[in-house]
Chains A and B, each alone.
Chain A
Amino acid sequence: MENLEALMHGFGIALSGNHIFLMVIGVLLGILVGVLPGLGAPNGVSLLLPLTFGMQPVSAIILLSSMYWGALFGGSVTSILFNIPGEPSSVATTFDGYPMARDGRPTTALATAFGSAAFGALAGVVLITLAASWVAQVALAFGPPEYFAVYFLAFASFIGMGGSPPIKTLVSLAIGFALAAVGIDTVSGSVRLTMGIDEMVKGVSFVVAVMGLFGIGELMIAVEEEFHVKAISSKVEWREVFRTLVGLPKHGWALLRSAAIGCWMGITPGGPTAASFMSYGIAKRLSPRRANFGKGEPEGIVAPEAADHAAGTSALLPMLSLGIPGSATAAVMMGGLMIWGLNPGPMLFVEQKDFVWGLIASMYLGNVVAVVLVLLTVPIFAALMRVPFFIIAPVIVIICTVGAYSVSNSYLDVMLMMGFGVLGYLFKKLHYPLAPLVLAIVIGDKAEDAFRQSMLMSKGSLGIFFAKPLVTTLILLGVALLLMPTIWRTIGRMMPRSEVKP
């Protein structure tokens, strides 16, 4: 209860006119960078950072974190309306969000996403409030074997997800691993798979990959089926926004489960990307409307959004308590912390109570501000869907080109992005799943590093993955998920036989 007292103190700090104003400004700027092409949360926060040098650390972090919340919500907008995920963690939102919007229900899709995201974020903050002092210990238990086990679990849940034939998922994962290996290898320090192109030493950027795979790839499909793309007739209605929000508790179970997955993945350093994918996979498995997933099923939006925001929010905790930035944005904020003269680490909670609890209180308020602002703007964003295809298509090409170029001001990235566009198109045509490919690009090299670090530690013995209860549990869980489809198929094959017998 000590924490609750501290939180009340925090509200005292965060609830000043000045800070509320900063929150509104931060959220609005955040939504803007989230929606605009080529500007993500990390860039936005970096650009804003110099402005905070004269501020009190509390005010500065409130401004920056509000911008982060705004950008997270803004990122969902482009995922749903244009199938272009701004951050790795909003990829899973495109699976059902985009089909729903395309089917003429953009308002419902956006409102569902924002509602679930708000719930997830709230769960994350509540968790931070209650567990602030305890959580640091959990994260410390994570060494290389545990990291590998978490990544393994994410990959395994994908293969076991059952959406596509496991072998196709494996192929997609394997291509992703190969792409993730391009560049300098952390463990040996040598240059790999650059194909003689000097610039490839930097590796394949996630942004470049998703812009091509989703943005351009989807566009090519749409062009091919041009006459199937309906001019969207949606009347933008406020009532629809409210009806959707009121209807959200219908998915109460999915919300709770997704938020729990998100919080777990946020504290343990699995991260929001793995969380949203895993949550989507589990929702699909457990839902009675399994066949609807991928075609605009509301639960397919609820699950990844709630998990993503729960993980994104609770991931700030390891940054503050341990100095491990869970995302690029958190890394920039941590740089800010150092410049303001604060050292992230366990002592922050002891020495800088005002700062820490002011920030935590502002997370409640900032997310409320973000949800209100973003819901107010839903009809405006949804109206974008009524713009005819012949205008939207070139805009998407421009967005993707500018986005890919701006990653590191390189034409090579633009070419790569186009290449990924073709790959995305081929994947769709041949019914290969794109999600495992993206997942492997994002966490493939981390998984590889963790595995090889573990091998260095154990002098090459796989026994290290069964040496401690935590890592053993994670690995066994992964293996169980991996074998699930096979087991179910076997059972399925047995069942009819046993029915035939009698």
Chain B
Amino acid sequence: MSQKPTFAAIAFGLAIGFTGAANAAWQPAKPIEFIATAGPGGGTDNFARAVQNIVTKYKLVEQPIVVVNKAGGSGAEGYTYTKAMAGDPYKVVFGTSNAWNQPMVSKVAYNYTDLTPIAAMVQDEFLLWVKQDAPYQNVQDFIKAVAAKPPGDVKMGGAQSKDTDETLTRMIDKAAKVKFVYIPFKSGAEAAVQLAGGHIDAHVNNPSESIGQWKGSTQRPLCAFSPQRLPDGPKVTATQNWHDIPTCVESGLAIPQFQQPRTVWLPGKVTSDQTAFYVDLMKKVQATPEWKEYIERTSQTDTFLTGDAFNKFIKEDIERTRKVAADEGWLISN
């Protein structure tokens, strides 16, 4: 009996060794730079460092890895830098959907087509949050209360301008036929504190941005912008976990899905061997228990989009954002 697992293990090891050998067409020969397009402590920074830790721990790459933060210009600094590094396979940039959305609404010096897509590895979820002692028990109550006030009286906070948070706010406006005034802050964490202080009425933070405040009973989620409820898990408050929060569609707000992909890119003009190496590397990262732990800790959704599937996802996301951006008059004329 004891031989079987051993045999399986050997076979598994061989298989991994074999795939490793098959992909060994290109191997890094000098230190690799991970560029996080967000400041230390932000979601994208945590993402890049989680990947770095796993790669280092399992020695998936022989070369050392350095994480560099290039957060200036809402991430544009990192992308612009990577664009200038065309052909250099030792720069890996970590970002979100702003890689393709930011150039649409802002005159930055790059476009996502200047980069080589590797993968979308995680989808961060969005929820609608209100202050703990707000009178609304569900989305319907809240929307009714917003509709009863003059347009622009109810304040929705969020991170950055014309990025995911504001796009989602405008989608809520449309779906529920209301009008929020959107107040942009530097980060979701800042918006969360403003909500706790009662300076704004709602925000659409990711789970990890507001879990502390939910635990501390200063704010609570009304619904999740996901096709099904978030996965079951340990209780966050005394009585509830993420799975207890209804989806927005379920509670009558017709936005079936809104997620923030966490994306990995190389500079443009790298070879297909180099691209394949990093796609494979990220797959190996995703197979580790540490990755599972990262996903759970941040309450995100695991995913792995690469190649055509990733391109299709980008196209669809651009389509959707462009619609909102066009209605709001955000599109820049290049």
Contacts and interface: CB of A to CB of B under 8 A. Distances in A.
Interface of A: 42, 46, 50, 53, 139-144, 183-191, 198-199, 201-203, 322-325, 328, 331-332, 334-335, 338-339, 341, 343-348, 351, 408-409, 449, 453, 456-457, 459
A457 B215 contact: no
Q: Which 5 A-B pairs have the closest CB atoms?
A: A202-B72, A345-B212, A143-B199, A189-B161, A198-B109
Pick the most buried of A42, A323, A331: most chain B CB atoms within 10 A of its CB: A323
Contact of A453 (B40, B108, B185): B185
Contact of A189 (B40, B70, B74): B74
Contacts of B49: 335, 339
A334 B70 contact: no
A324 B189 contact: yes
A353 to B, nearest CB: 15
B211 A343 contact: yes
A53 B186 CA distance: 28
B109 A201 contact: yes
A57 to B, nearest CB: 14
A336 to B, nearest CB: 9
B193 A324 contact: yes
Nearest to B215: A347
A190 B199 CA distance: 25
A409 B68 contact: yes
B184 interface: yes
A456 B155 CA distance: 9
B161 A188 contact: yes
Interface residues of B, number: 54
A467 B171 CA distance: 32
B152 A459 contact: yes
B327 to A, nearest CB: 16
Interface in B159-196: 160-163, 181-186, 189-190, 192-194, 196
A184 B106 contact: yes
A33 to B, nearest CB: 15
Contacts of B122: none
B45 A201 contact: no
Contact of B215 (A46, A50, A142, A345): A345
Contacts of A328: 39-40
A456 B41 contact: no
A106 B72 CA distance: 38
B193 A140 contact: yes
12 contacts: A53-B53, A201-B108, A202-B70, A323-B213, A324-B190, A331-B41, A335-B49, A338-B41, A339-B49, A345-B212, A347-B212, A456-B183
Contact of B77 (A50, A322, A344, A408): A408
A185 B163 CA distance: 13
A328 B45 CA distance: 13
Contact of B212 (A184, A191, A343): A343
Interface in B314-331: 330
B80 interface: yes
A187 B193 contact: no
A343 B216 CA distance: 10
A143 B131 CA distance: 15
Given A332-B40, A345-B215, 7 more contacts: A140-B197, A201-B77, A323-B213, A335-B46, A347-B216, A348-B212, A453-B185
Given A185-B161, A189-B106, A345-B212, A198 B53 contact: no
A317 to B, nearest CB: 13
A335 B217 CA distance: 22
B212 A332 contact: no
A140 B41 CA distance: 21
Contact of A457 (B70, B181, B208): B181
Nearest to B186: A186
B161 A142 contact: no
Nearest to B236: A343
